[in-house]
Amino acid sequence: MSKIDILSIRKQFPILHQKVNGKPLVYFDNAATAQKPLSVIVALNTYYTRDNANIHRAAHTLAARSTEMFEDTRKTIQAFINAREVEECIFTKGVTESINLVAQTWGRKFLQAGDEVIITSMEHHSNIVPWQMICEEKGTILKIIPINDAGELLMDEYEKLLSPKTKMVACVWVSNALGTINPVKEIIEKAHAVGAKVLLDGAQACSHLDVDVQVLDCDFLAISSHKLYGPTGVGVLYGKRELLEAMPPYQGGGEMIKEVSFERTTYNDIPYKFEAGTPNIADVIAFKYALDFVNELGKENIRNHENELLHYLVNGLLTLNETNVMSSGVETHKQIKLIGTAKEKVSVQSFIIEGMHHFDVGMMLDARGIAVRTGHHCTQPLMNCLGLDGTVRASFSVYNTKEEIDVLVEAVKSIIKRK
């Protein structure tokens, strides 16, 4: 049993308490973005009504206050992922920018023609396209780890791809389309054994799983605030100090310099070397409140609650299939197929309904107040591997309930009736 006080948690999320299309909102699109607790919303409001000033530069009180709060979030994220040093945490716009930063700086400096970068079949486009771009520029080869029917990586095939030519393994920790938790510790150890670096896409992992970059020994980790109950437009790139120091800057401008003359510019130390221009100050400050929210609940409690929800949904959907066949001897309903049935999973479940387009299912659910994701989930190559053009995806957060899943299962039941 989970130790979550669901009523008190739901009270902290004002957005959940509304009707959509005349029905109570059931928000099951958490893998796209999580809703924000009041503490985050209030922090944004407070910042702009009391503290707003540009950071790091001016001598005045508001600037000092803003700078302190901004840097406080950096300390909080350092502790959240157990980075050795606070300077190893760089603020970005999100996972997409974090990965582009590594591809465009580390990749531009360290990749050569004939080198190899390995990714997996289940990557989000943001961990495919940046590598394609730099590989094309450098003549580097992109290799792909295949998956089995359950949506698990074929680790034997991964081992076959590894060689001294491998310079980077860029891997999603948790798949947004399938929910699969990849064995990243093993992936990292094997990559390091051939001298390759590892970047983890932590977009989906960080809200569910314990994160310790020192235990994992990953070289880079990309994080998005908005998947972690924080504001959009904020992310973090964690990188090991020696790598970040060896990388050229990403963008030029204010803040990332030590001294500028028309002849020559010297660059700032990390993390500022990678934070050109005025950052997203308010949202970074509010992100701390999202991290505090997660810390107060505890990842284990969150995970237990979400896993209960996942199993409840899977049972509910599979029971619909069984009862349909058993009651009449013939199938009286369209069958539901679960997509993504890995042994190690987070609370994300994709499915399709035979003979129905996922988008139509999504619209029918929306008419009942249920928000799910439909489509390719920014994983078109994965959909191609699975022979699908898209799925319906329900993804759960700590504020979701079994009663809401009953609403979804009842809705699916009425949708699958054969006409």
User: Based on CB atoms, which residue is closest to ligand PMP, 88 or 97?
Assistant: 97
**Phi–psi pair at 58, nearest 5 degrees:** -80, 165
- The amino acid at residue 201 is D
Q: Are 300 and 324 in contact (CB under 8 A)?
A: no
Tell me which stretch binds ligand PMP (CB under 6 A): 79-87, 91-99, 148-156, 240-248: 91-99
- Is residue 400 part of the contact set for ligand PMP (CB under 6 A)? no
The structure tokens listed for 271 are: 């993390």
Report if residue 101 touches ligand PMP, rule: CB under 6 A. Answer: no
Query: How many residues belong to the site for ligand PMP (CB under 6 A)?
Result: 13
Residue 172 as a binder of ligand PMP (CB under 6 A): the answer is yes
Choose, by CB under 6 A, the member of 37, 94, 239, 390 that binds ligand PMP: 94
Tell me the C-alpha distance between 371 and 393, whole Å: 10
The residues, any chain, with a CB within 8 Å of residue 144's CB and separated by 6 or more, are: 118, 119, 120, 121, 381
Select 93 or 305, whichever has its Cβ closest to ligand PMP: 93
Per CB under 6 A, does 207 bind ligand PMP?
A: no
Kindly state the smallest distance separating residue 187's Cβ from ligand PMP, in Å: 15
User: What is the pattern of x (binds ligand PMP, CB under 6 A) and - over residues 287-326?
Assistant: ----------------------------------------
Residues 6+ apart with CB under 8 A from 54: 63, 66, 278, 281
* From 224, 347, 349, 350, residue interacting with ligand PMP (rule: CB under 6 A): 224
**Residue carrying structure tokens 């090991």:** 240
For the CB of residue 203, give the shortest distance to ligand PMP in the complex, in Å.
3
C-beta closer to ligand PMP: residue 107 or 233: 233
CA distance 127 to 237: 14
| Of 94-102, 138-146, 289-297, 326-334: span binding ligand PMP (CB under 6 A) | 94-102
Is residue 404 within the footprint of ligand PMP (CB under 6 A)? no
- 369 Rama sector, left if φ>0, alpha if ψ -120 to 50, beta otherwise: left
Paired residues of 192 in beta bridges: none
The span of 75-83, 151-159, 198-206, 268-276 binding ligand PMP (CB under 6 A) equals 198-206
Task: Provide the minimum distance between the beta carbon of 289 and ligand PMP in the complex, in angstroms, as a whole number.
Answer: 18
User: Measuring CA to CA, how many Å separate 137 from each of 113, 140, 197?
Assistant: 9, 8, 20
**CB of residue 208 vs ligand PMP: minimum separation in angstroms?**
12
Task: Please say which residue, 64 or 371, places its beta carbon nearer to ligand PMP.
Answer: 371
Residue with Cβ nearer ligand PMP (43 or 203) = 203
Q: Does 184 bind ligand PMP (CB under 6 A)?
A: no
Q: Does 124 bind ligand PMP (CB under 6 A)?
A: yes
CB atoms under 10 Å from CB of 86, counted, come to 14
Q: Which of 203, 236, 294, 405 binds ligand PMP (CB under 6 A)?
A: 203
Q: How far apart are CB 285 and ligand PMP at their closest, in Å?
A: 18
Asked if 204 interacts with ligand PMP (CB under 6 A), we say yes
CA distances to 30, 39, 70 from 292, rounded to whole Å, are 19, 9, 15
56: three-class secondary structure by DSSP: coil
Contact residue for ligand PMP among 35, 76, 96, 104 (CB under 6 A): 96
Shortest Cβ 205–ligand PMP spacing (Å): 8
Residues 133-162 that bind ligand PMP (CB under 6 A): none
The rounded distance, in Å, linking the Cα atoms of 254 and 279 is 11
Q: Who's near 30: CB < 8 A, 6+ residues apart?
A: 395, 396, 397, 400
Asked if 41 and 14 count as a contact pair (C-beta separation under 8 A), the reply is yes
* Contact status: 95 vs ligand PMP (CB under 6 A): yes
Name residue 309's amino acid: L
Residue type, 407: V
Active site residues: 378
Q: Is the dihedral of CA 5, 8, 9, 15 positive or negative?
A: positive
Site for ligand PMP in 355-384 (CB under 6 A): 378
Q: For residues 171-208, b (16+ Cβ closer than 10 Å) or e, as one string?
A: bbbbbbbbbbbbbbeebbebbeebebbbbbbbbbbbbb
| For ligand PMP, the closer CB: 303 or 333 | 303
The total of other beta-carbon atoms located within 10 Å of residue 408's CB is 21
Cβ closer to ligand PMP: 129 or 257?
A: 129
Q: Which residues are at the interface with ligand PMP (CB under 6 A)? A: 94-96, 124, 126, 172, 176, 201, 203-204, 224, 226, 378
